[in-house]
Structures are given as C-alpha cells and as structure tokens.
Amino acid sequence: MREIKVAAAQLGPIQKAESRAAVVARMIALMQQAKAEGCPLIVYPELALTTFFPRWYHEDRAEADSWFEAEMPSPATQPLFDAARAMGMAMSFGYAEKTPDGHHFNTSILVDAAGNIVGKYRKIHLPGHVEYDSERSHQHLEKRYFEPGDLGFPVWRTLGGIFGMCICNDRRWPETYREMGLQGVEMIVLGFNTPSVNSQKGAEGLAQRLFHHKLSVQAGAYQNATWVIAVAKAGDEDGHHLMGGTLIVNPDGEIVAESQTEGDELVIHACDLDDTVFGKETIFDFARHRRIEHYGRITAQVGVVLPPED
C-alpha cells in the first residue's frame, strides 16, 4: 500500500481588490486544517493567488502584468512556502507566471515537503479569445494574457509515486491524460476556474458545465488508471460566478470525494497509489494493447486526407 491522504483545497471567490497577502493567509489556514487531518499533500486551484483576471480587458496588455509573479517564491508567497516547510507539507498551486525574459504563462507548480519546487507545468490548452468581444456575456481573455505552455506534459517522481499536472481546460482533452498515462502517471493534480455559464452559449448553464467537467475528469482517470485531484476556485467574484466541483476521482473513474460548498473548503481522501496497478497491468496495459502499426493501417483504410499546407 502506498497511501497518500490528499487535501483538495478549494478556494472560494477572490475579489479583484483582495490582496495577495489576504489570499495567502486563506491558503495557510486551509493548510493548517489539512495538517491537522494528517494530510501530507495539499492541492490548490488554478490562479490561486488572484481573482480570475482574464475576465478583465486591459487595452494595454502590459497593465495586466500586475497579476503576474516575476519570481516564485515571490515576497507575497514566501509565507506560504515557509508554512509548508514548517508543517512538512507538499503542495501544488497555480499562478500567473512572468518569466525573466518577458513571457507570460498560466502555470502550476509541485512543491515537496522541504519547500523545494520539484515540478512546473504551463497550461497548453488556452481557451477564450484575444480581443474584447461585445457579443459575449463575459470576457475570457486567456489568449490575450497567456502564451501556450512550452513544457509539454511531464511527470515527476515524488512522494513515493509518479505525479503529473494540468490546468483547467486541459482536463477536457484526452491527450492531456494520455501523454501522462504513457509515462506511468499515478496521480494528476489539476486546478480550474470555470465560469458557470458559457460566454458564447447561454443555454449551457451550471448543470451541463458540471456534467462535462465530471465526464472529462472521470474518463481521463479511468482510461489511464490514475488518481485525479481536480480543485476549483468557486463562487461570485465581483459579479462573475465560478462553478465549484472540486473532485477526487479514483483510477476506476469513480468520484470518491467532492466539495459541498462554493467557499474555502477541504475535500480529503486517502489515495492508495497501488490502486493504479490493476488497470495499468490489465485493460490499460499500453505496452501490450496499443500496437502502433495498427493505427497506421486504420488511418490508411479510412482514407484520412491531411489539409494542404499554408
């Protein structure tokens, strides 16, 4: 048995005017609760340090840099790292990253119990749009403020297992899980900030959005025999509602724990990484069952035609 008691630390709304210090204090309070529950790992959401700022349009792109961290730990987040180190707590959280050479990414990190950053992932599947769109119910300007991630989907050996990360919209794409599944991933941690209404499809409300969220996470977990820890930022941020839906999903694709509120909340479950073994050695044994040459034959038989080059 390789059991890790995981705390999925959902954050309630973060208002535009709320300071980094106030948010970090909330994160530390959740960490203290997780420590009291005997959890060695805590997972926070995407863009955990700020409001979901891509809903706000800055005509001058540089004005958005105030939402970004130029270093990590930053002065504002150092207390979080100090608390984690003092408690012997590993953690993962998302933030807006500005690199020393001026690139901007939607980033998540994995930090070990000694406070060392052991993994970094940059969001690849950026949703939304670049310019202000008056036809939308709300703006979703991730493509304006972020560049697509350039680190791929690596995995890391830590905490006695094989861990991977992804962020929000990545969870909807099967190749996200498969890239890590082919590397033997045993637990994927992901944070998300998902509006409860689609800005381009008003009829797709909260119920359907939660359905698609759960469908994506459960399928990814089952088809790659991995645990998935999906952690929301939720609630009303300055009049813009984010859905909850924090989940812990086991390697059989079953939801074993989920949030009950849209506020700061811990969702806790003892996850045995050995529960991934059966699926990886039977139905999803990629080495035995994925014969690459067969895919080539199928492509030829169905007559796939590639588009002409530009």
Whether 129 contacts 184, CB under 8 Å: no
Task: Note if 123 is an active site residue.
Answer: yes
Q: Could you tell me the pTM of the whole model?
A: 0.93
Q: What are phi and psi of 289, to 5 degrees?
A: -110, -15
Neighbours of 247 (CB within 10 A): 25
CA-closest candidate to residue 25, choices 86, 92, 83: 83
Q: Which two tokens stand for residue 235?
A: 């609630």
Q: How far apart are the first and last CA of the chain?
A: 53
Q: Locate the domains of the chain by residue range.
A: 3-302
d(CA 215, CA 244): 15
Neighbours of 69 (CB within 10 A): 18
- HSE (side-chain half, CA atoms, 13 Å) at 128: 28
CB-based contacts of 135, cutoff 8 Å, min separation 6: 200
Task: Note if 39 is an active site residue.
Answer: no
Catalytic one among 35, 39, 46, 142? 46
Distance between alpha carbon 309 and the CA centroid of its chain, in Å?
Answer: 34
Q: Which two tokens stand for residue 281?
A: 């050695």
Q: What is the largest CA-CA distance in the chain?
A: 60
d(CA 280, CA 286): 8
Q: What are phi and psi of 272, to 5 degrees?
A: -90, 115
Amino acid at 39: C
CA-closest candidate to residue 147, choices 68, 58, 213, 93: 68
For tokens 């409001």, what's the residue? 51
Catalytic one among 39, 69, 97, 168? 168
Whether domain 3-302 has CATH 3.60.110.10:
yes
Catalytic one among 123, 186, 262, 280? 123
pLDDT at 210: 96
Task: Note if 131 is an active site residue.
Answer: no
CB-based contacts of 151, cutoff 8 Å, min separation 6: 120, 121, 122
**Going residue by residue through the chain (310 aa), what tens digit of pLDDT does each one get?**
999 999 999 999 999 999 999 999 999 999 999 999 999 999 999 999 999 999 999 999 999 999 999 999 999 999 999 999 999 999 999 999 999 999 999 999 999 999 999 999 999 999 999 987 888 877 899 999 999 999 999 999 999 999 999 999 999 999 999 999 999 999 999 999 999 987 676 667 899 999 999 999 999 999 999 999 999 999 999 999 999 999 999 999 999 999 999 999 999 999 999 999 999 999 999 999 987 666 666 555 655 554 554 4
Q: Is the dihedral of CA 123, 127, 133, 138 positive or negative?
A: negative
- HSE (side-chain half, CA atoms, 13 Å) at 195: 22
